[in-house]
A and B are shown apart, each in its own frame.
Chain A
Amino acid sequence: DAKTTQPTSMDCAEGRAANLPCNHSTISGNEYVYWYRQIHSQGPQYIIHGLKNNETNEMASLIITEDRKSSTLILPHATLRDTAVYYCIVRVAGSGGYQKVTFGTGTKLQVIP
């Protein structure tokens, strides 16, 4: 899996959009960008993933640059419950074969009242 780099921490005011960047400059053509978050003392929770097109679901939006070397996770209206560590990982999708999934350091997002 390609490596990713994220800022260590970010603050966001409650109700504002939180924009979390991720660099994945060595991503391969068949690797997807996945985002997970981990609330304290819980297992990671899936948020969203994409290959090259922008994606949106009920939780967030994912913007991937045209060269796919970076992406941004957008939480449109951050709430206090969004305070968590957000991980960006890249991996090959599909269930066939062995796919090692490793995590970087993630971004600790603190939503401020």
Chain B
Amino acid sequence: GAVVSQHPSWVICKSGTSVKIECRSLDFQATTMFWYRQFPKQSLMLMATSNEGSKATYEQGVEKDKFLINHASLTLSTLTVTSAHPEDSSFYICSAIFPGAGELFFGEGSRLTVL
């Protein structure tokens, strides 16, 4: 199947710093990508929908100034956690819609730990 790749797979940072996570569709162009976060033993929670060439649409309760999303090309969306705090520690997962059939493929996830 189609491949969606995230980088980095895991990252540890100090409180107050910003962290960028990349999501790439490796063999297809994706006009729409989604960002999720997942806390231990919980389901995936949709954070925002990233649309190429336009502003992301955030879910209720998700701070858009805290979680900056940029979908600058048809193969890359980035999530930047600004001024990270320990409560932002989580597993962040992206997904992309495959054109045509509309299949949804997921990245491997990125584990963020904020000290």
Binding site for B on A (CB under 8 A): 34, 36, 38, 41-46, 49, 87, 91-96, 98-106
Contact = CB atoms under 8 A, between A and B. Distances in A.
A91 B105 CA distance: 14
Q: Is the interface of B mostly helix, strand, loop or mixed?
A: strand
Contacts of A49: 103
B99 A95 contact: yes
Contact of A100 (B43, B49, B106): B49
- Interface size band for B: 20 to 34
A100 B93 contact: no
A95 B98 contact: yes
A99 to B, nearest CB: 7
Interface of B: 1, 4, 6, 31-32, 34, 36, 43-46, 49, 51, 57, 91, 93, 95, 97-109, 111
- Secondary structure at chain A's binding surface: helix, strand, loop or mixed? loop
A47 to B, nearest CB: 11
A34 B98 CA distance: 14
Which of B6, B102, B106 has the largest number of chain A CB atoms within 10 A? B102
A46 B104 contact: yes
A46 B105 contact: yes
Nearest to A49: B103
B51 A98 contact: yes
Contacts of A104: 43
